[in-house]
Amino acid sequence: MTRTRKTWLITGADKGLGLAAAKSALDQGDNVSVTVLAPDASHPLAARYAERLRVYHLNAKDVDRIAPVVSQAVEAFGRLDVLVNNAGYGLLGLIEDTAAVKYRPLFDVNFFGLAEMTRAVLPVMRRQRSGHIINLSSVGGFDAAAGLGFYCASKFAVEGFSEALAQEVGPIGIHVTIVEPGPFRSDFAGGSLDSVATHRSDYAAASEFVKEYQHTKHGKQPNDPARFGPALCALVDADHPPLRLPLGVEAVERIRAKMSSIEADLDRWQTLSFSTKFSD
């Protein structure tokens, strides 16, 4: 059976996982619109895929430009089948040391920009009675890590938002999937990672993690960005896509471990948990 060509919109696709997703979608013959930070809307794939790629400059914090960009993307190809909310960055630092001037911009990009992009796309998909919204979270959006508190919090927000969204739009034919990558050898631990210095001995283990993270992680992550795009394409072509898709052995193992820990706590504290019920 011939595969139906799809139309994608991918945010933050100038490098890393967003670029990998765009390349895979284009390689399989789909139409793709991407947003990039480059002011001139330049893109490494533009010349090779001139007929099926459209590139728009957009900073995810510039919420007033999101709706016009979506309108242009829809006008370019006539519909929108897949939204990949990929734009985002990391923030490394202890919670006590991280000021609002650092963590509020993080939420502007990782959560509020994602929410506004989703809201701009929903009327299109609602009219179509079809579509797939893929929100990039992280394994840290399910299982938080000391030293990445605000980053994990922004991704936890993405997960709660996505769960509720899936319940709202599922009945009208729109799928929602939360993608939870483990460590990929992308730019996340390099140029896409902001950090806050710390020297607090009271938080020795977390402080050491923060201090050594980029040195020990960047360029040594176990997952290949080139395999991210094909995984996303397989997800989009699935008849019944999941609400959550962890990517990487580490992501699956951490999620399973946390689920086991939660179940153990529920069992251990069930008597106290049930104690608040009215005694009828």
Beta 174-181 vs 31-36: how paired, if at all? unpaired
Helices (H), the chain: 16-27, 66-77, 100-107, 114-128, 149-169, 204-217, 228-237, 249-268, 270-274
Tell me if residue 280 falls in helix, strand or coil: coil
Which residue among the candidates 137, 138, 154, 162 is catalytic per the annotation? 137
* 178-206: burial string, b at 16+ Cβ within 10 Å, e else: bbbbbbbbbbbbeeebbbbebeeeebeeb
Which residue among the candidates 56, 89, 103, 151 is catalytic per the annotation? 151
Annotated catalytic, 49?
no
**39 near 58, Cβ under 8 Å?**
no
Annotated catalytic, 137?
yes
Which residue among the candidates 24, 155, 203, 213 is catalytic per the annotation? 155
The string of DSSP codes covering 232-258 is HHHHHH-SS--SEEEESHHHHHHHHHH
Catalytic residue IDs = 137, 151, 155
